[in-house]
Amino acid sequence: MMGAGSRTLLKGLGDLPAMHFGYAAEARIAGIPCRATRVSFVGELGWELRVANTDAPMLFDALRGAGAVPLGHYALDGCRLETGFKHWGHELGPMVTSLEAGLAFTIDWGKDCIGSAALLKQRSEGVRQRLVLMRIVGDALMLHDEPVFEAGRHMGMTTSGGRGPRTGLNLCFAMVETARGETLTQTCARAFIVRVAGQDYPATPLRRAPFDPEGKRMRA
């Protein structure tokens, strides 16, 4: 249940405990016991509600009756793209390190773990590829695995793409080659093109997500 009015709607249907972003608590919505987790995949205030399978239809009907409207899959994906959120299985996976994905802030460098030696080595030497969010100029149908070029040289592939419902921007994530020691700012100063169905489209790397880059809406 996501959106600026989600707190008001849920409280109107029952007992929604106060909680900070990233926390979970037991709740009762429309008389149905559930576990509410305050997270967001779309960059908006919201909760994920976990209920027993048998209770899910009743909860769904109660939310619809209170004015909630289902969000389509492509709109959902477009929202997370314009918020700059990565998706496991597209941007993230066992072949991508946290440094390459721009998630260094999630690493506790003081702890030893499987792969920590490799991460320390990569941090010291610099990444050779980097995940970047790009704005596509034109009406290309962005999905995933479209080739990315720079000055005629193949530099990587897109990992996912779509149009942001709130910004109207055509966006994609792409994993591109980088020089050792190249900063994100330097990568964003480069000029790329993405080839879709045999046609080339200019692709501008974005230093920050185009929608609420500080995440204020989902932490409201």
Domains in the chain (CATH in brackets) are: 6-70 (3.30.1360.120), 77-206 (2.40.30.110)
CA 50 to chain centroid, in Å, comes to 21
Rounded Cα distance between 131 and 101, Å, is: 5
Give me the pLDDT at residue 197, please.
96
Give me the pLDDT at residue 20, please.
96
Rounded Cα distance between 100 and 132, Å, is: 9
SS3 of the chain? CECCCHHHHHHHHEECCCCCCCCEEEEEECCEEEEEECCCCCCCCECEEECCHHHHHHHHHHHHHCCCCCCCHHHHHHHHHHCCCCCECCCECCCCCCCCCCCHHHCCCCCCCCCHHHHHHHHHHCCCEEEEEEEECCCCCCCCCCEEEECCEEEEEEEEEEECCCCCCEEEEEEEECCCCCCHHHHHCCCEEEEECCEEEEEEEECCCCCCCCCCCCCC
Do 126 and 181 meet the contact criterion of CB atoms below 8 Å apart?
Answer: yes
Global pTM value: 0.90
Give me the pLDDT at residue 124, please.
94
Give me the pLDDT at residue 79, please.
97
CA proximity to 157, closest of 219, 209, 208, 90: 90
Query: Can you give the pLDDT of all 220 residues of the chain as single tens digits?
Result: 999 999 999 999 999 999 999 999 999 999 999 999 999 999 999 999 999 999 999 999 999 999 999 999 999 999 999 999 999 999 999 999 999 999 999 999 999 989 999 999 999 999 999 999 999 999 999 999 999 999 999 999 999 999 999 999 999 999 999 998 899 999 999 999 999 999 999 999 999 999 999 999 999 9
